[in-house]
Structure 1
Amino acid sequence: MYRPIFARRYPALARFRSTPTYSWNSQGSKKRFRRRKPEKNKYLPLPSPPETYYSRKGHVHVSQNLKSSLREYLDAPWEAYPKARAMRRKWIVHAGPTNSGKTYNALQRLKTAKSGLFGGPLRLLAREVSDRFRAQGTRCNLITGEEISYDIDEHGSVAPLSSSTMEMVSLSTVADVAVLDEIQMIADPDRGFAWTQALLGLQAKEIHLCGETRTVPFLKSLAALVGDEIEVNYYERLSPLEMDKSPLLSLDNLRPGDCLVAFSRRSIFDWKARVEKETKFRCAIIYGALPPEVRASQAAHFNDPKSGYDILIASDAIGMGLNLSIDRVIFTTAEKYNGESLDLIDPPHARQIGGRAGRFKLGAPKAIPGLVTTFHAKHYDYIKQCMQTEPEPITRAGIMPGDQLFADLISAFDATVPPSVVFDTIAKSPDSSASDMFYLCGISGMVDAASCITGPSDVLTIEELVTCCQAPVPVGRDTRLVKLMDNFVRVVQKGEPVTPISMKDLVISKIVDKTADSSELLKDLEVLHMGLNSYLWISYRLPEIFTCREEARHLAGLCQAEMERLLETKRMSKSAKPKAKKKTADKSAVIS
């Protein structure tokens, strides 16, 4: 009998996955979610003839040589980095769970190096490392997609250490030590290519890899293929992590240091309003749509025992990148909207979030145990099983085609084929997953961006098209960002300089709007800040068109200040009960 992928991957948890999916509305009655039938993709390559890729408006012949080049690249992508292959490199793996000190030890080694770099998954984490080094008297540059800040001394020399997001790790810099954090993200279907290209292409003598234990077998196999030496260090948690004896059940059982985890923006503010109305506690909040600076500010409020913020309400954005003094993680639900319906979160996801409890503090007399529980009794057994389930080992890594190969693949299509179809066809071609160890990733996100383009795209160069579609515009969050993406492409087509204020889809007036409803104004500011960040990102790639970088940064700062004011002074919801008008989850409310 056929079993769903979830049941085959996690057999111990299969009994929690019911078909069809049910949930409960605010009145306590059960309602049924419809499962969408999978749509047949018209743009997948057809089996005959094998060298032909089909699109909506016709077909294009891709040469056998080009297809062979793609297969060869996926079979041995490390050959694309000859300078790294010519070096004698050593990988030092720091493998362990959350709160085990693995990243701390790697950073201690980086701080003593003559030259080096740090690569992390988030801009917030890159800034934290840079600020920490500078506070300790160690000069360090900050390099992210939206900000490049060099630490220059009085003699004009640039700092030998850099902290950056993974996509911005320099492969041309020769360094003594490199630290790559959250190495398990090498298998991420959207961003895994950044970890893969950094690991294969870094010109560093010593590369420290920090992450989960399940990455070790794959890293050993890859090191053997590449010809690099590898050393593995295993870590245990510095503070124990336990399941609480029972679910919370009532807000009366909350205590300072608790973190309530929800998976949508709406439910986060609902819980905030409910906690502040029914208890004496004040809440800090963290979710993915907030700017990193605002998230850091909210985290600082929660960590400070004298700030008055005793409870944290957060999304899964707390899973990495923030140091939080959480005593107990409380899941308000075990379901998250997956784009079509509510679905149970995977065990690795639950473990990553739950592992934030019981953070170890230097100088503390003893480690404080971290506790994990749920608010409702119906979710308790599932989360308990997740915390006890070991994730499956990583077997494949994501990779992006090299610049020239990617350009050749795109140019093989006729200019009349929509860019979204081009990217979708490349991403889903049989050759993209033919390798045993690597698969093409990072292209499917470009499909969503390219689908926002309404005008002709054939006037763009391939480099301009790829740059626009790689811009960090989360088009799935809000329809206004879809229009902004289209606006960016039109601006690049014209080739004329543009300022943030002159872009009609960036409603700058929201920064000084004092009349709008607080909750709606906060959402408007979130969208505006995402747009300004996208302007900053693309200004580093196309500086001759997006010329007013400092103006965009200043406006983003004003936007952040107004958002912090709203979070600190307003209650964003009057009711703690979630609305149940629709049969499916509100897509606009979903955050990461």
Structure 2
Amino acid sequence: MHLFSTQLVLRCPTGARHRAFLSCSYILRNNVHNRSHKRTKVSSRVAKQLKLTQTHKKPVSLAGVIKPSVLPSQSPNTSTDDTVALDFAGPLSKADILAVLNQFFRQPEVKSLAMQQGMEHSLFLQAFSEFRKYCATISPLPSELHIKLSDIINGYGTATDLFPFFLQHAKVMYPHLDYVKDLRHASNLTSPAQLFPLARAKQRKIIIHAGPTNSGKTYHAFQRYLASKSGIYCGPLKMLAVELAQKSNDVGIACDLVTGEERNFADPEGLMPAAHISCTVEMTDIERPIEVAIIDEIQMLRDKQRGWAWLRAFLGVNADEVHLCGEEAVIDLIKNIALDTGDTVEVKRYKRLTPIEYMNEPLGSIENVQDGDCIVCFNKSSIYQLCRELEKMGRQCAVIYGGLPPGTKLAQASRFNDPDDPCKVLIATDAIGMGINLNIRRVIFYSLLKIEESRGSKINTVISPSQALQIAGRCGRYGTTHKDKGYVTTFHGKDLELMHDLLNKQINPIDKAGIHPTADMIELYGYYLPHASLSDIIDIFLSLMTIDGDKYFLCQIDQFKQIAEIIEHIEMPLRTRYVFCCAPIPLQSAFVTTMLLKYARQFSAGQPITGKWLAEQIGWPLPKPITLNELTHLEAVHDSMDLYNWLSYRFEDQFPDKVEVKDMQMAIDKAILEGVCEITKLVVISENNSDKDDMRVEKLKTLPSNISRILEKLSEKLPNET
């Protein structure tokens, strides 16, 4: 390839050398990609489409979706009534009619009445333009309109009196105005508690277990769960759901596990459902009668992305007792919402079981790391750097970050917790904030800044006091090796004052809970707006939606809309499309997004998405990763299999091979674990490859001058053209 590219440049005319050089540069750069890029080609069209959808387009309005009906340009048949009106009121001049219409347009009351009828500003402008044209050109006018205009012109009425005629004309243009009332009713979220009739049919008892991390609040709720005839645990993470199911089964209380990607039944045959369930909060069964329900980390009601799931579980779970575990900041909001549900509320407060000290000295240097330390970073590059430095010191470390599969996280946690394992230091992101019990003596914040997505761009923001306390609370936990006392500090001295401010700051009360449109609501909109895309339907829903702003806020649905736009060209029923758009995928991963698109295409074509088909798409079997890029690619493949499992429990016929895919996923989990255990080697290899790439690029920069000299020598040997 290199030789061919060079020959191509040599044979080019002088004026085209630069363009050929750029082409040659592109080929050479692509040849230094690692093995994972050779194995996997991410669709450039999907990547481009993903980039486009991440830029926030202007929300679509009803006027942008509903096309006006074509109105007759000819005068309607003249009736006797119209002739009588002309004789009774006399002829009207066009100038007088237009003057009245201009007054009508300027009235604030008219615009307010139009908005109440579902005519937003742009639609109102279109409707008025056509009404004005109609009144000025049609002759004779309908009798009632003619008489009303005459009265207004002669001072016996106001321009606002024309509104019924304007509305009648607008409904001829826009027939949907007749059912705007139905759409508004469908998007009325002012009383979300009434969306759950089974829960409202009983008098529930709400018990709030409020306290900081490591205060025993979930433990006490769990004891009531074990003593009940039937129960459901709703947790924020799959790992927590797995842990609670295992604890329940270990003490002889049969418990089924239900997550978005997995179903494990206590009954080996899977025929008899257990009386107790442990699930992720999104999978809460709101129809099944339950004696005791636990909703863990209830303060997540305020989460901008997932808050709706906690609100749905709280409002909808069909339980006699509902135990809510979380921060004290949520108490007032729960009491406020309970006024709508009619439930009784009891509050139990807890204190931390072990002391914790916020240190006045930073770590200062990696050489000061001690056994039992956990350094918390908020980006992978810092994790790689610290692992490399610890390796140089001869210290082994465990690594935990959000992109790792649950099995790998648990294996790394087990290494760190094992007193006989030489791994005594943990490098992690805020993924340790929930769900993993760790023998941490001291938490060290490497930074207090976290990258957040904001309107399609990434910005560094200081973590919230709640996040800081959640992470700091992982040290010195009751029941661990370092239960006597925990310590918290920063790596850099410049962050120490900010850390103290965050950890000592009073957490503001949570005053609003997240809410989200349901599939039934969106399907009703689709019935009334059959030609609108799902993304447009969401925009229209938002424009007509009403919520109680004192208690609720609308969760961010940017990812939902981005997926809707990516699969918009694929034919599928609206409810099916809604399910695909709810898929919990890392949208920043082009590979996973491409796999979602491929799943959707196969589904639309009526083709089963088999394990064999999936193996062909991912290039199975996949080798052990030897660079960081290959490790990241394996994580993306694992996520795409999570997506397969998630879809398989919603469309079992089209995704029939979840057992086979699960086996493949376990093999990938093992390969990822091996890669993480040797992460320092991967860092070194990746750095060496990067250095080689830089050297090749530097050589590439000298190509134009070399080629020029070669061309000059060749031209001297060639005969002159005559």
Give the TM-score of the pair, scaled to structure 1.
0.83
Q: 1:205 to 1:283 in 2, by over 3 A?
A: same
Question: How far apart in 2 are the matches of 1:143 and 1:39?
Answer: 35
Other-structure match for 1:467: 579
Comparing both chains, which one has the higher relative contact order based on Cα–Cα distances under 8 Å and sequence gaps of 6 or more? 1
In structure 2, the partner of 1:292 is 406
Matched, 1:553 2:666: no
How far 1:576 moved relative to its partner?
12
Match of 1:169 among 264, 284, 291: 284
Match of 1:204 among 319, 322, 346: 319
Alignment map for 1:43-54 (pairs within 5 Å): 43=59, 45=61, 50=115, 51=118
2:508 & 2:186 partners in 1: Cα distance? 28
Alignment of 1:340-419 (within 5 A): 340-361=458-479, 367-413=483-529, 415=531, 417-419=532-534
Distance 1:43 1:195 in 2: 27
Residue 21 of structure 1 corresponds to: none
CA offsets 1:479-508 (integer angstroms, 9 cap, x no match): 112212221221221121111441488414
Residue of 241, 249, 254 corresponding to 1:134: 249
Q: Does 1:574 find its partner at 2:692?
A: no
Does residue 574 of structure 2 align to residue 456 of structure 1? no
Moved more, 58-67 or 552-561: 58-67
- 2:519 and 2:578 in contact (8 A); partners too: no
Contact preservation (8 Å) 1:247, 1:373: yes
> Tell me, which stretches of 5 or more residues in structure 2 are unaligned?
1-53, 64-110, 128-173, 691-722
Q: Deviations over 1:348-393 (max 9, x none)?
A: 222211121111117x7x9422211111111111111000112211
Q: Is the 8 A contact 1:66 1:409 kept in 2?
A: no
Is the contact between residue 508 and residue 528 of structure 1 (CA under 8 Å) also seen in structure 2?
no
Q: 2:207, 2:346 within 8 Å by CA — same for their partners in 1? A: yes
Shift of 1:145: 0.7
Which of these residues, 581, 590, 603, is aligned with residue 492 of structure 1?
603
How far apart are the structure 2 equivalents of 1:205 and 1:501?
Answer: 46
Cα distance 1:443–1:221, how it changes in 2: closer, same or farther (>3 A)? same
Count of residue correspondences: 528
Shift of 1:65: 1.6
Query: Structure 1 residues 213, 269: closer, same or farther in 2, change over 3 A?
Result: same
- Distance in 2, matches of 1:574 and 1:324, equals 28
Distance 1:65 1:525, change over 3 A: same
For the structure 1 residues 82 and 323, does the alpha-carbon distance in structure 2 shift closer, same or farther, using more than 3 Å as the test?
A: same
Q: In the alignment, is residue 502 of structure 1 matched against residue 613 of structure 2?
A: yes
Instruction: Write out aligned runs for 1:50-69 (5 A).
Output: 50=115, 51=118, 63-69=179-185
1:42 lines up with 2:58 in the alignment: yes
Instruction: Report what 1:118 is aligned to.
Output: 233
**Retained in 1: the 8 A contact 2:307–2:514?**
yes
* Aligned residue identity for 1:468: F
Give the corresponding residue for 1:19: none
| Equivalent position SS for 2:398 | strand
Query: Secondary structure at 1:398's aligned position in 2?
Result: strand
Shift in alpha-carbon separation, 1:403–1:41, aligned structure 2, 3 A: closer
Distance 2:59 2:419 in 1: 56
Question: Do residues 446 (structure 1) and 564 (structure 2) align?
Answer: no
**Once the 2 structures are TM-superposed, how far is the Cα of residue 575 of structure 1 from its aligned partner?**
9.9
- The aligned residue for residue 3 of structure 1 is none
Q: State the Cα distance separating 1:135 from its structure 2 match.
A: 2.1
Match of 2:382 among 267, 278, 281: 267
Whole-Å separation in 2 of the counterparts to 1:124 and 1:561? 17
Contact 1:468–1:488 under 8 Å retained in 2: no
Give the whole-Å Cα distance in 2 for the aligned partners of 1:305 and 1:426: 56
CA gap 1:442/1:412 in 2 versus in 1, 3 angstroms: farther
- Report the Cα distance in structure 2 between the residues aligned to 1:329 and 1:112, rounded to whole angstroms: 36
Q: 2:434 aligns with which of 311, 316, 320?
A: 320
- Please give the residue correspondences for 1:504-519 in structure 2 after superposition, counting only pairs within 5 Å: 506-509=617-620, 511-514=621-624, 517-519=626-628
- Could you tell me whether the CA contact under 8 Å between 2:384 and 2:679 is conserved in 1? no
Q: Deviations along 1:328-361, whole A, 9 cap, x unmatched?
A: 1111111111132222222222221112111111
Does residue 534 of structure 1 match 2:643? Answer: yes
Preserved CA contact (<8 Å) 1:189 1:398 = yes
- Alignment-mate amino acid for residue 665 of structure 2: A
Instruction: Give the direction of change, closer, same or farther, for the CA distance of 1:330–1:424 in structure 2 (3 Å limit).
Output: farther
Partner SS, residue 574 of structure 1: helix
Contact 2:184–2:544 at 8 Å: present in 1 too?
Answer: no
SS of equivalent to 1:391: coil
Q: Distance in 2 between matches of 1:471 and 1:154?
A: 29
> What is the identity, as a one-letter code, of the residue corresponding to 2:452?
N
Superposed CA deviations along residues 142-184 of structure 1, whole A, max 9, x for unmatched, are 0111011111178964321110000111111111111110001
Write the letter of the residue equivalent to 1:344: V
Question: Map of 1:103-114 to 2, 5 A cutoff?
Answer: 103-114=218-229
2: CA distance between counterparts of 1:52 and 1:489? 36
What secondary structure sits across from 1:357 in the alignment?
Answer: coil
Please name the residue that 2:415 is paired with. 301
Residue correspondence of structure 1 range 83-98 to structure 2 within 5 A: 83-98=198-213
- For 1:332 and 1:116, locate their aligned partners in 2 and report how far apart those are by CA, in whole Å: 41
SS at match of 2:437: coil
Match of 2:424 among 310, 314, 318: 310
Does the aligned pair in 2 maintain the 1:272–1:283 contact within 8 Å?
A: yes
More helix by share: 2
Q: In terms of mean alpha carbon deviation, does 528-537 or 265-274 score higher?
A: 265-274
* Amino acid of the structure 1 residue aligned with 2:569: P
When residues 450 and 402 of structure 1 are mapped into structure 2, their CA distance, relative to the original with a 3 A threshold, is closer
Deviates more, 1:210-219 or 1:195-204: 195-204
What's the CA shift for 1:406? Answer: 2.3
**Which structure: larger Rg?**
2
**What amino acid sits opposite 1:456 in the alignment?**
H
Q: Aligned partners of 1:569, 1:155: CA distance in 2, in Å?
A: 39
SS of the equivalent of 2:424 reads: strand
Q: Is the 8 A contact 1:91 1:231 kept in 2?
A: yes
Structure 1 residues 53 and 508: alpha-carbon distance in aligned structure 2, compared to 1, 3 A threshold: farther
Deviation at 1:564, TM superposition (A): 1.1
Whose strand fraction is larger, Structure 1's or Structure 2's? Answer: 1
1:330 aligned residue: 444
Distance 2:503 2:489 in 1: 10
Percent of aligned positions with the same letter in both sequences?
34
Distance 1:376 1:52, change over 3 A: farther
Any conservation in 2 of the 1:45–1:54 contact (CA below 8 Å)? no
Asked whether the 8 Å contact 1:500–1:506 carries over to 2, the reply is no
**Aligned 8 A contact 1:484 1:505 in 2:** no
Q: Corresponding residue for 1:583? A: none
Change (3 A) 1:409 1:369: farther
Question: 1:282–1:309: 8 Å Cα contact kept in structure 2?
Answer: yes
CA spacing shift, 1:112–1:494, aligned 2, 3 Å: same
> 2:581 aligns to what SS in structure 1?
helix
Other structure's SS at 1:298 match: helix
In structure 2, relative to structure 1, the CA distance for the partners of 1:430 and 1:350 (3 Å cut) is farther
CA contact (8 A) 1:501 1:508 kept: no
